[in-house]
Chain A
Amino acid sequence: MGLNSRRANWWLYGVLTVGLVAVVAPFVWMVLGSFKTEGELRQSPPTWWPQDGTLDNYTQLFSRLDFGGYFTNSVIVAAAVTAGNLLFCSMLGYAFAMLEFRGKRALFVVVMTTLMIPGVVTFVPLFVLVANAGLVNTLPGLFLPFLVSPFGVFLMRQFIIGLPKDLVDAARVDGSGELGIFARIILPLCGPALATLGILTFLGSWNNFLWPLVVAQTEDTYTLPVALALYSTGQNSTNYGLLLAGATVVVLPVLVVFLVFQRRFIEGIATTGIK
C-alpha cells in the first residue's frame, strides 16, 4: 500500500503540473507576446521567447490610443463602486444583523430574491433611465447603478451577525447614539469582511463589460475592457501585438492585487460561494 500510494503520488504531481502549465501558459504567452513584433506574432510555429523584444506595442497603446485614459476611467469607476458598496452595504447589513425595525423581514426577502437577477434583464430600461437623466457617456452613468449590491448586504450581514450583540447593548447603556454605535463600534470590527467585499467589488467592477459597453459610447468614457473589446473587433483587430499589450494592461494590475491579497480572496470565495 505504502509503495503503491507513493507511486500514485508522483503520477498525481505530474498531472497537476501539466494542468498548472496549461492554466498559466496563456498568461505567460500574453505577456511575452506583448513584447514581440507583428511579424514574429504571425510566425508558424509560434515563438515562445521574443526574438527581438520591443516596447512599440506599449508606446502605441499609450500614445496613438488612449489606454492611459481608459485606465483612469476604470480606476475611477471601480473606486466609486467599491466605496459605495462598502458604506451602504455595511449600513444595511448592520441593520439586518443587529437592529429590530418594522418591515425588516419583508425588506430582507426582497433584497435576497434579487441576488440572482442577471444584468442582462435590467440593462435595457436602465439605459432608458440613464439616458433620460442625461448620464449616457458619463462616468456617473457607469458607476451609479452599481453603488449597492444585494451580495454586499448579504456578506456584511453574515459577518456582523457573528459579532457579540453585548457590544451594542453595552454601548447603549453608556449612552451612545444608534448611528454612533454603528460608526464607532461595529464598523471598526468589520475589517476582514470589508476587505473581502472591497476586493471582490473592485474586481467585479474592473472586469465588468456589458453595462460599460452600453453606456460608454465615445473614447473619453471607455473603460479598459470596453476599449479592448472594441479594438479587438474593430479597426485594430489584426494588430496582434497591440491587442496583447492591451490585454496585459487589463490583466496585470488585477493579477498583482490578487497575488498580494490571495488569502482573503480565497477565503471570501469559500465562505460566500460567490465570486
Chain B
Amino acid sequence: MTATTAPPASAGASAARAEGRAAWILALPFCLLFLAFTAWPVLQSLFMSFTDTRSRDLRTPFAVDFVGLDNYTKAFADPVFRRAMLNTAYFVLVGVPLTLTIALAAAVALNRGIHRFRSVFRLGFYTPVITSIVAVAVVWRFLLQEDAGLVNTVLGWVGIDGPNWLGDQHWSMPALILMATWRNFGTGMIIFLAGLQSVPWQLHEAAAIDGASAWQRFRHVTLPMLRPTILFVSVTTGIGYLQFFEEPFVMTSGGPLNSTISMSMYTYNQFGFGNYGYAASLSYVIFVLVAVVTAIQFRLLREGD
C-alpha cells in the first residue's frame, strides 16, 4: 500500500499497470475461493457423473472406472427418480403459479387498494420468507395433523372435514405446496410492489376516463407493464422450487409411498448410500433443468424489450 507519488501527467502506462495490479490483488481472494469451492466442484461433479465413484473411493477420486452415460440411463430408468421428477414437476407447475398469483394479488392490493397499515401488511406477509424452512416445516407438521392440527380445526369451523394431509398420498403434495406458497409469496410481493411503482398512474387515469373497469385496467394496463417483473419472479421462484428439499425431508421423509420425494432429496439419499457417481449425475440433471429455465427467462426477457 505504498503511495505512488508520480505526477498524473507522466503516469501513462505505469499508472495503468498499477491499476491492473491492484485490481488483481483485490480479485485474488475471491478467485482462489471461487476456483476451489465452486468452479472445481462444478467440473468434478460432471466428471464424477460419468464414473462409478462410491464413498470408499473418497481418497482416490481419479482412480475410478469410467462408465460413460450409464449413470444417466440408470437415472431415467430408475422408478423412484422418475417419481421424484414427476413430483418436482407437480411442485413447480402448481406451486409457481399459485405463489405468483397470491404475490401479485397482495402487491396490487397493497399498492392501490388501501392507504393505512400498508407497511404492517407488507411486513407481516414478508415475515415467513426470512425464517428457516426447517423450522417452519417442523411447525407445519403439527399444524397439518389430522385431528389435533390447527388447519383442520379451522376448516372444521366452516364445515369442511379436512384430510390427513401428510399421511395421505393424494394430499401430501398439496400440503407441501400450500406451505411453500405460504413461506415464499412475500418475496414476489415485494418485487411486484417495486415493479408497480413504475406503472405510470396517468395510464390508469386515461383508461378510467375511457370507461375501463378496475379489472380491465389491471388486465390491459398493469399486467403488460409488469411482464418483465412477472417473468423474473416466476423464474427465480421456479429455480428455488426445482430444488425443494427441506420440506419433504422434515415433513414426510418423501412419503407416503414416495408421493413427496423430490429430485434434490433423492440425490441426497443416493449420496447418503455412498453412490457418489450416481448422485453427481442426478445433480447434473437438476442443473440442466435449472439452466434451461434460466435460458428461457433470458430469451423471453429479450423479446420483451
Contact = CB atoms under 8 A, between A and B. Distances in A.
Contacts, number: 299
B280 A124 contact: yes
B132 A206 contact: yes
B132 A250 contact: yes
Interface stretch (A51-59, A63-71, A189-197, A207-215): A207-215
B135 A247 contact: yes
For the complex, would chain A's binding face be called helix, strand, loop or mixed by DSSP majority?
helix
Given A99-B19, A101-B20, A128-B44, A214 B193 contact: no
A109 interface: no
A129 interface: yes
A229 interface: yes
B18 interface: yes
A247 B138 CA distance: 7
Contacts of B140: 26
A46 B153 contact: yes
Nearest to B297: A116
A91 B112 CA distance: 41
A9 interface: yes
A45 B291 CA distance: 47
Given A91-B29, A101-B19, A177-B3, A243 B42 contact: no
A124 B187 contact: no
Interface stretch (B76-84, B118-126, B168-176, B216-224): B118-126
A254 B130 contact: yes
Contact of A120 (B143, B187, B267): B267
Interface string B38-55: 111110110010000000
A233 B37 contact: no
Contact of A88 (B30, B127, B264, B286): B30
Given A121-B286, A229-B250, A20 B125 contact: yes
A25 B113 contact: no
A126 interface: yes
B204 to A, nearest CB: 13
Interface string B44-69: 11001000000000110100000000
A246 B109 contact: no
Contact of B58 (A23, A92, A100, A131): A131
A129 B41 contact: yes
Interface of A: 8-9, 12-13, 15-16, 19-20, 22-27, 29-30, 33, 41-46, 84, 87-89, 91-92, 94-95, 99-102, 104, 107, 110-111, 114, 116-129, 131-132, 144-148, 150, 153, 172-173, 175-180, 182-183, 203, 206-207, 209-210, 213-214, 224-225, 228-229, 232-233, 240, 243-244, 246-247, 250-251, 254-255, 258-259, 262, 265-266, 269-271, 273-275
Q: Nearest 6 A-B pairs (CB), nearest first?
A: A178-B22, A101-B23, A122-B41, A125-B44, A270-B194, A145-B37
Interface of B: 1-5, 8, 11, 15-16, 18-27, 29-31, 33-34, 36-42, 44-45, 48, 58-59, 61, 106, 109-110, 113-114, 117, 120-136, 138-143, 147-150, 153, 156, 182, 187, 190-191, 193-194, 232-233, 236, 239, 242-243, 245-246, 249-250, 253, 264, 267-268, 271, 276, 279-280, 283-284, 286-287, 290-291, 294
13 contacts: A25-B150, A87-B29, A95-B23, A123-B41, A124-B45, A124-B271, A129-B41, A148-B34, A178-B19, A207-B132, A243-B138, A254-B131, A275-B187
